[in-house]
Amino acid sequence: MIMVILAVALTILVIIIAKLHIIPIINIMILKRKHPKYVESIFHLGPSLIREEKHNFKQYDDSLYAFRNIYKKNPEVKLIAYKNAKGQIGYAFVDPELIKQVHQNPEVFQKQMNNPIIKYLFQDSLLFRTGKEWQRQRQFLGKSFHFDEIKNYLQDIKQVANEELQKVKQQIQSKPDSSIEIVKICQSITQEVVFRIVFGSTNLKVIKSDGQKVPIADEMISSIQSFQILLRSNYLLFAKFVILGKNVLEVIPTNKEKEVKQRFLGLKKACLQIINQRKKQLMTDPTQYKYNFLDQYLKEVIINNNKSITDEEIIQNSLSLFFAGTDTTGNLSGSALYYLSINPTIQQQAREEVLKMLSQNKQNETLEEKLASLSLQDLSNMNFLNSILKETLRLIPPGPNVLSRICIQDFKIGEFFIKKGTPVGTYFISSQMNPKLYPNPEKFDPNRWMNPQEQNSINFTPFSLGPRNCIGQHLAIIEAKCILSYILIHYDILPNKDQQIKFRSQFVYGIYPDNFIKLKIR
Ligand code: HEM
C-alpha cells in the first residue's frame, strides 16, 4: 500500500516538475531555434520575471539591468521569452515596431485581472475595463485630461507645490546640511494634486480598525503593499494564488488575508461616504458644482440621469487615478532632480530658462508672485525643461513596461505566432537604452531632445502608445515642470555624496533610497 502511495506521489511530482519546468524549457528552446537572432530568454524557478528583477537588484543595484542592457547583449533582439509561475511561456516584446502592433490591438491583448488587488480596487475602472465600457469611460474621463483642460488645475498644482516646498525650506533652515527625501516630497505634491482633481478637496482620511486616521491614498498604497509582502513571504498563499488567482482571499483565508481584504473594503467604504455626502450637497444646492471628477460624475448622474454610471465606477476610477497618477509623477520629478544635482551646467541652463520665462511677467512682481502667475503657456514654452523630463523618462521611466496582458485569440505579431492564452508584455525601457537609437545611452543628455524632428516617437513611449496610452501624461509633465521650476528658483540642487543609489522596480521604477539630493537655499 505504502509503495502505491509513494509511486502515485512520485508520478504527481514528476508531472508537476515536467509541467512547470521541463516543458517550458523545451518550448523556449524551440522558439529560440526558430528565431535564433531575435529571441532571448529568462528562466528561473517560480515566476521568472520577479526572480530576475530580484536577482538583478541584488547583483547590479538595478532591478531592470537585464532589460536595460538587452540591446548591448543582442542588437537584433525583438522578444524576451520567459516562464511564469504556472509554467506558461510569456512573451515580453522589446522591439518598438512589435510593441506598437501589440498596443494597436487592445481587444486581443487584454490586461490580466487575475489578482485580488484588481478585483477589489480597480476592475470596474478605466484602467481595466475593455470594449464599449472602456470606450465610454475613456471618452468621459479623457475630456478632463486634454492639454487645454490642465489650466483648470494649474492654480492648485502651483499652490500645492508651493505649500509642500515651504515645509522643505523649514527643514533646511533648521538643518542646512540635511539630505532631502525628495521623491516622498514630490509624491506628497502629486498625491494632493490628484486628490483635489478627483474630489475637489484635500486628502481625506480612512479610519482604520485600530481607530487610526490615514490619508486615503496612503492607505491604498500601504494595503496593496501588505498584500504583496504577504504573497512573497508565504509560499502557501502563493500556491493558492497560482491556483485561485483573483479569488485567493475568498478560500480558507488566514487572519492576515482577512485583514488585507477588510482594508481594501474599508478604502472603498471611505470613498463611498465622500460620494454620498457630496451627492446630498449637490442635490440640495445644484449651484455648488465645481470642476473636479466627482462633481462631473455626479452631474451626469443627478442632472443628466445617466444610469450607466455606478457608485462602484466612481469609487474605482478615483482609486485608479491615485494609483496611476501619484507615484509615477513623483518619481519622474525626483529622478529629474537627481540628474540636475549631478549635472550642474545643465541645472544652471534649466534655471536660466525658468528665470527668463519669469522675467517676461510683470516687472514689479516678486519672484514668488511671478511663479504664482506662471501660465500653462509659459510652462509649455519651457523647452529645455521639457527635454530634461524626456531624458529622465528615457533613462528612468516610472512605467518601464505595461501591465501584463493575456492574448485572447491566436494572433501574429511580426514573425511571431502567439497562441490564445499566452501572457504578453511590452518593455519600453529596452529600446530607450538601445545604443543605435541613443548613442552613449547611459549619458544624461537633454540636448538629444532639443530638435524634436530628429526623434522617431515609436522608440520613445514612456506613456505607452495606441488607444490605451496614458490619459494623464499632460498633467504629469505640467506637474513635474512646476515642481522643477519652484525648486530651481529657490535652491541649488546638490548631490548627496553619502548616498549610494540603486534603481528599483516596485509599483513604479525609480531611484532608491530617495535621499539622494541636498538643497541649498539661494
Ligand atoms: C510620469 C508620470 C506617468 C507615467 C510614466 C505614466 C505611464 C503610464 C503607462 C505606461 C500607461 C499604460 C499602462 C498599461 O497599458 O498597462 C498609463 C496608463 C494610464 N495612466 Fe499614466 N502615467 C503617468 C501619469 C499619470 C497621471 C498623472 C494620471 C492621472 C492622474 C495617469 C492615469 C493613467 C490612466 C487612467 C491610465 C490607463 C488608461 C487606459 O487604459 O485607457 N497617469 N500610464
The answer on pLDDT for 101 being more than 70 is: yes
Give 333-357 pLDDT, tens digit per residue.
999 999 999 999 999 999 999 999 9
pTM across the whole model: 0.95
What is the rounded distance in angstroms from the CA atom of residue 431 to the CA atom of residue 153? 34
What is the rounded distance in angstroms from the CA atom of residue 410 to the CA atom of residue 335? 40
Task: Output DSSP code: residue 300.
Answer: I
What is the rounded distance in angstroms from the CA atom of residue 46 to the CA atom of residue 29? 18
| CA distances from residue 74 to 25, 396, 407 in whole angstroms, order as listed | 20, 21, 26
Most confident of 43-47, 232-236, 411-415: 411-415
Mean pLDDT of 235-250: 93
Task: Output the CA 399–ligand 1 centroid distance in Å.
Answer: 8
More confident residue, 215 or 316: 316
Task: Output DSSP code: residue 26.
Answer: H
The answer on pLDDT for 455 being more than 70 is: no
Task: Output the CA 321–ligand 1 centroid distance in Å.
Answer: 8
Note the pLDDT of residue 16: 82
Note the pLDDT of residue 440: 95
> Which protein residues are within 6 Å of ligand 1, measured from CB?
126-127, 138, 194, 320-321, 324-325, 328-329, 332, 397-399, 402-403, 462-464, 468, 470-472, 475-476
Residues 6+ apart with CB under 8 A from 163: none
The answer on pLDDT for 53 being more than 80 is: yes
Residue with cell 518550448: 27
The answer on pLDDT for 522 being more than 70 is: yes
Residue with cell 509554467: 87
Mean pLDDT of 189-209: 87
Note the pLDDT of residue 456: 62
Angle between helices 383-395 and 344-359 in degrees, nearest 10: 140
Task: Output the CA 109–ligand 1 centroid distance in Å.
Answer: 17
The answer on pLDDT for 460 being more than 70 is: yes
What is the rounded distance in angstroms from the CA atom of residue 98 to the CA atom of residue 229? 34
Q: Which residue's CA is the nearest one to ligand 1's atom 19?
A: 470
Note the pLDDT of residue 359: 87
Mean pLDDT for all residues in the chain: 93
Q: Which three cell numbers stand for residue 122?
A: 480597480
Give 290-311 pLDDT, tens digit per residue.
888 999 999 999 998 988 899 9
Q: Which residue's CA is the nearest one to ligand 1's atom 11?
A: 470
Task: Output the CA 5–ligand 1 centroid distance in Å.
Answer: 52
The answer on pLDDT for 402 being more than 70 is: yes
Give 61-100 pLDDT, tens digit per residue.
999 999 999 999 999 999 999 999 889 999 999 999 999 9
Annotate 87-132 with three-state secondary structure: CCEEEEECCHHHHHHHHCCCCCEEECCCCHHHHHHHCCCCCCCCHH
